[in-house]
């Protein structure tokens, strides 16, 4: 059974919240018009589209009125033509596509830059200012490839489901998230956007901060320092030792100690000179002929437990 325009008008007015939008409390809109009049005009514009595009469509159409975009009681909410264009050629002849097509179906979808521009016309601001030229648009990804505007619940805005949206493309990171040691991504305690800004970033890898370390320190503030004795790899980049999306070695390590440590500290262990040869990477006592007797198969952190840095006056070795 088709929904009547009267019922659609009610849905569009109350929207998904079931109440009038906050802007209705204002006496006039930004351009000085009466909000109620604007709401009626917007709904009349939609009727031109919804008289054909109803619930019989294979893709959801009328569920837009269960979302914030469909609250016609709010004069700021977009209409069909706000996103799809006036589409006069389409209205004159159905064989002609709308001005902007977001999803491939009867018509080929519009270029990603055209689709993104429709969204950015309203959704601009600091978090999206780096979208042009960033990784996603350069790989032909537009806003609606991740966001589902017509659906009552957009999975991108649900912390328990957003990872699944990202994993649609990022398969390797999905596999990592199921390893022994991970951030709690699968249970929604950490989401991709806590570390990455999918709309573009001034930092590498779409990070929310300018560097890897600044991003990690948002949660791991105790590692920030400055420390009296600092471990240089820690100061430079956390990912020298850790792989953030998941590892089979706790805690998110790229390799097991001492193998991880020996990527840098590959010489004999010198324990006689506290700040001489020891700092140059010599890790096996010269009186021991076999390096295996000194470190191989043992965890360096048994002794050097303050590996992220130490404030102890005797902390040059990062020991307890």
Q: pLDDT tens digit string along 102-155?
A: 998 889 999 999 999 999 999 988 889 999 999 999 999 999 999 999 999 999
Per the model's pLDDT, the better-predicted residue between 249 and 317 turns out to be: 249
Helix (H) or strand (E) holding 17, with range, is none
Question: What pTM, to 2 d.p., does this model score?
Answer: 0.79
Lowest-confidence range among 20-29, 78-87, 294-303? 20-29
Helix 5-14 and helix 35-50, axial crossing angle in degrees, nearest 10: 130
DSSP three-state, residue 206: helix
Strand stretches in the chain, DSSP E: 267-268, 282-283
pLDDT at 178 over 60: yes
Place of tokens 């503030």: 221
Whole-number Å distance between alpha carbons of 14 and 97:
31
Whole-number Å distance between alpha carbons of 72 and 83:
15
Query: Quick one: tokens of 166?
Result: 């990202």
């Amino acid at each position: 059974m088709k929904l009547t325009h009267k019922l659609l008008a009610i849905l569009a007015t109350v929207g998904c919240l079931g109440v009038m939008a906050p802007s209705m409390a204002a006496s006039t809109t930004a351009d000085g018009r009466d909000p109620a009049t604007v709401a009626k005009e917007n709904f009349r514009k939609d009727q031109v589209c919804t008289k054909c595009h109803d619930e019989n469509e294979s893709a959801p159409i009328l569920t837009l009125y269960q979302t914030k975009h469909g609250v016609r009681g709010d004069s700021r909410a977009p209409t069909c033509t706000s996103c799809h264009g006036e589409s006069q050629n389409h209205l004159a002849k159905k064989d002609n596509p709308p001005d902007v097509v977001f999803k491939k179906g009867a018509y080929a979808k519009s270029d990603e830059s055209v689709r993104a521009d429709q969204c950015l016309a309203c959704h601009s601001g600091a978090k999206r200012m780096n979208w042009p030229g960033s990784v996603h648009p350069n790989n032909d990804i537009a806003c609606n490839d991740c966001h589902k505007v017509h659906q009552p619940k957009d999975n991108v805005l649900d912390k328990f489901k957003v990872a699944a949206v990202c994993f649609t493309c990022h398969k390797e990171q999905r596999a990592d998230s199921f390893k022994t040691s991970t951030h709690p991504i699968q249970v929604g305690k950490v989401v991709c956007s806590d570390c990455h800004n999918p709309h573009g970033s001034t930092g590498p890898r779409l990070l929310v901060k300018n560097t890897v370390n600044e991003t990690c320190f948002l949660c791991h503030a105790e590692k920030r320092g400055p420390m009296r004795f600092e471990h240089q790899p820690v100061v430079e980049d956390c990912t020298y030792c850790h792989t953030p999306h998941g590892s089979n070695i706790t805690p998110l390590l790229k390799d097991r100690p001492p193998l991880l440590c020996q990527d840098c500290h590959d010489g004999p262990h010198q324990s006689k000179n506290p700040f001489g040869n020891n700092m140059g990477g010599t890790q096996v006592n010269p009186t021991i002929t076999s390096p295996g007797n000194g470190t191989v198969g043992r965890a360096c952190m048994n002794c050097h437990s303050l590996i992220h840095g130490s404030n102890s006056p005797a902390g040059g070795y990062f020991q307890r």
